[in-house]
Amino acid sequence: MTTLPVLPLSDQVLLPGMVIPVTLEGSTEAAIDAARTSADNTVLAVPRLDGEYGSVGTVAKIEQVGRLSSGEAAAVIRGVSRARIGSGVPGPGAALWVEAQILDEPEPTGRTRELAREYKALVTSVLQKRGAWQVIDAVERMTDLSELANSAGYAPWLTLQQKAELLGTDDLTDRFELLTGWVREHLAEQEVTDKITSDVREGIEKGQRDFLLRQQLAAIRKELGEDEPDGAADYRSRVEAADLPDNVREAALRGTANAVLLKPNQRGTLTETFEAWQAAQQAGFAGIISARSGETEDVTIVHLAVGWGVGQLKVGSFARSERMAKWNEALRVEETLGARARFAAGAVLGRSK
């Protein structure tokens, strides 16, 4: 048994072999201060999730104490070994001191090695999807099975609860059973996400194609003179037939309006917003998807503007994060579409009456 100050971790889990920064405040600062007064600069990093301490922690060495780029005081600690928490004992400073039993790593069995090979293959698949080639090289070079299992502590697809469960599982084979199951679940979820992304991309491309075809057809009709003089009567009939509010219909017939400003978070629902856009199209109106006051960094309206083929987006000048988030998302959509992206330019204005 050894006696160590407890370093509570509420927003991360430290496994042996990992190196993480810890901001110093309250109980974490007390634990680091207490450890620095001892000869070995060692703490017991324990997950404290939902206000409860885990029964197993990680013995960790303090590598460095300083300040982050934000100016906050912090320490860098390195996990050394797993330890089971015992009784509380008196100790110097304001930290909580406990007795800890160091847990030896069990020898791997044939089943352990089989699961480790499967886990390594599954993790490699995940990392390939993320383009993390350097991490793949590091994983491939790992021959120590305990090190391989503990490296899952860096995995962003695992929850804090899963990492704490991994830390608290004594048997190495059981740890790989957990890990292979979790990675399979993640890959299955990723396949569904990729399918949804693909469907959305196809919908956007179809919306753009349909929009451009409509604009090209309108331009051809205008060049052929098919919209004059009969076009005016056709326009009037379309306006009268469209499901428009009375004041909008009157403005359209008088020629004082030819476009609709669509504000999804003012209209109420996406369904109502889309119905308004359909009615506007039926009346021959152009459209503008618009932000409004009180906006956040949500980028949904960018996808509506592209996916519905509206053609125009009103966000505001290149200032403030809620605006830049939308402009940057528009650039990402264009990048995703690649050569399939089209800039409608003046064609988006439609009729000019």
Residue 353: what pLDDT? 41
Q: Residue 85: CB partners within 8 Å, gap ≥ 6?
A: 6, 44, 46, 53, 54, 55, 56, 57, 98, 99, 100
Where does the chain show beta strands of DSSP type E?
A: 2-9, 19-23, 42-49, 52-53, 56-67, 73-89, 97-102, 259-262, 286-290, 313-314
DSSP state for residue 320 in the 8-state scheme: S
- Residue 305: alpha-carbon gap to chain centroid: 22
Distance CA 79, CA 163 (A): 14
Q: Residue 92: CB partners within 8 Å, gap ≥ 6?
A: 34, 37
DSSP state for residue 104 in the 8-state scheme: P
Phi, psi angles (nearest 5°) of residue 83: -150, 140
In this prediction, residue 267 has a pLDDT band, given cuts at 50, 70 and 90, of low
Across 40-63, average pLDDT: 92
Across 242-252, average pLDDT: 69
- Residue 19: alpha-carbon gap to chain centroid: 24
The answer to pTM > 0.95 is: no
SS3 content of the chain, % helix, strand, coil (to 5): 50, 20, 30
Across 171-188, average pLDDT: 93
Cβ(263)–Cβ(292) below 8 Å: yes
pLDDT exceeds 90 at position 352:
no
Tell whether domain 110-191 is in CATH 1.20.58. Answer: yes
Q: Is 292 left (phi over 0), alpha (psi -120 to 50) or beta?
A: beta
Residue 74: what pLDDT? 93
Dump pLDDT digits (tens) for 60-114: 999 999 988 888 899 999 999 999 999 988 888 888 999 999 999 888 999 999 9
Q: Residue 169: CB partners within 8 Å, gap ≥ 6?
A: 175, 178
Cβ(60)–Cβ(13) below 8 Å: no
Distance CA 130, CA 132 (A): 5
Residue 206: what pLDDT? 74
3-state secondary structure of 2: strand
Dump pLDDT digits (tens) for 103-148: 998 889 999 999 999 999 999 988 888 888 888 888 888 999 999 9
Give the range among 36-50, 211-225, 269-283 with minimum mean pLDDT: 211-225
pLDDT exceeds 80 at position 242:
no
Strands 286-290 and 259-262: parallel
Strands 42-49 and 259-262: unpaired
Which listed CATH number (2.40.40.20, 3.20.20.120, 3.40.47.10, 3.30.2010.10) goes with 227-349? Answer: 3.20.20.120
Residue 318: what pLDDT? 78
Strands 52-53 and 42-49: antiparallel
143: which 2 tokens?
């021959």
180: which 2 tokens?
């292979």
3-state secondary structure of 199: helix
Dump pLDDT digits (tens) for 302-349: 888 888 888 888 888 777 888 888 888 888 888 888 777 776 655 555
DSSP state for residue 24 in the 8-state scheme: -
Which listed CATH number (1.20.1250.20, 2.40.30.10, 2.30.130.40, 3.40.30.10) goes with 2-102? Answer: 2.30.130.40
- Using CA of residue 160, residue 162, residue 165, residue 171, what is the dihedral sign? negative
Per-chain mean pLDDT for the chain: 83
Domain residue spans of the chain: 2-102, 110-191, 227-349
Amino acid identity, position 77: I
Residue 330: what pLDDT? 85
